[in-house]
Amino acid sequence: MKVFVSATPEAAATLCAKHLARAAQAAIKERGSFHVALSGGSTPKLMYSALKALPVDWEHVHIYFSDERSVGPDSEDSNYRAAKLGLLDHVSIPPAQVHRIEGERDPHEAAAAYAALLPERLDVVLLGMGDDGHTASLFPDTEGLHASGRVIANWVPKLNTWRISFTFAEINAARERWLLVTGASKAETLREVQNGMGGVEGHPVQGVQNALWYMDTAAAAQLKL
Ligand SMILES: O=C1O[C@H](COP(=O)(O)O)[C@@H](O)[C@H](O)[C@H]1O
């Protein structure tokens, strides 16, 4: 595991944001644009707060999402809404360069439409990890873990809902994968992940290859580093 451990969730988020701003600058210099997929859930909110204060050439940044819930853009559960309120409303990114997953549509149609608008290759996919080891909306013991293609509708029995998610193929095809994971509730799962316990079925985050991890000390407490 390549891990950056910071003292607090704020420090982990700030380090991740600084590295993201630097990666954007490098990609824009080399290729003229930066294509990044954001994650959902609660963890990225501190990172959004840090990133909006950093100098980034937003005119050349394209934003995507690694997963979305089956809700519209105004729902409190929407990953897009969290990014909009926390980051996108505060920076000068052209609206046409923010590519949300249409969670209000039929999930299969939304997945197909999203796959069609993705760039050939993302520069960075930002991910989180749930307490159960899920990442994006690839949950333990779900069909989506074995799906091909770029974006899928994944039925999640324990939540009794559809999610729309990048596949492992899409995640692992990106130039880089970064995981931001904070909080003591993640510590035991991270230890199991480090030891390969449960495999991809049990802890899907193990399907993410060559990831860079950003953690706080509470999350990293049980790791051998
Ligand atoms: O459902 C989701 O959960 C994970 C982890 O979320 P967190 O609240 O523990 O940070 C997240 O990475 C994923 O994108 C999201 O949709």
Question: Are the beta carbons of 119 and 74 closer than 8 angstroms?
Answer: no
Q: In this predicted model, what pLDDT tens digit does every residue of 191-216 receive, in sequence order?
A: 999 999 999 999 999 999 999 999 99
ipTM of the predicted structure? 0.97
Amino acid at 34: F
Mutational pocket test of ligand 1: of 100, 134, 161, 180, the residue with most ligand atoms within 8 Å of the beta carbon: 134
Residue position matching structure tokens 């609660």: 42
Measured by CA distance, the residue closest to atom 2 of ligand 1 is 41
**Strand pairing class (67-69; 124-127):** unpaired
pTM: 0.98
What per-residue confidence (pLDDT) applies to 136? 98
From the CB of 39, is ligand 1 less than 6 Å away?
yes
From the CB of 189, is ligand 1 less than 6 Å away?
no
Ligand 1 centre to CA of 42 (Å) is: 7
Measured by CA distance, the residue closest to atom 9 of ligand 1 is 130
What per-residue confidence (pLDDT) applies to 75? 98
Q: In this predicted model, what pLDDT tens digit does every residue of 117-127 receive, in sequence order?
A: 999 999 999 99
Ligand 1 atom, smallest distance to 44 CA: 10
Q: In this predicted model, what pLDDT tens digit does every residue of 109-167 receive, in sequence order?
A: 999 999 999 999 999 999 999 999 999 999 999 999 999 999 999 999 999 999 999 99
The domain segmentation of the chain, as residue ranges, is 2-220
* CA proximity to 178, closest of 57, 29, 24: 24
**Strand pairing class (151-156; 161-166):** antiparallel
Ligand 1 centre to CA of 61 (Å) is: 23
Mapped to the 3 state alphabet, what secondary structure does 26-69 carry? HHHHHHCCEEEEECCCCCHHHHHHHHCCCCCCHHHEEEEECEEE
**2-220 fold:** Rossmann fold (3.40.50)
From the CB of 67, is ligand 1 less than 6 Å away?
yes
Question: How many Cβ atoms from other residues are within 10 Å of residue 158's Cβ?
Answer: 11
* CA proximity to 152, closest of 166, 142, 169: 166
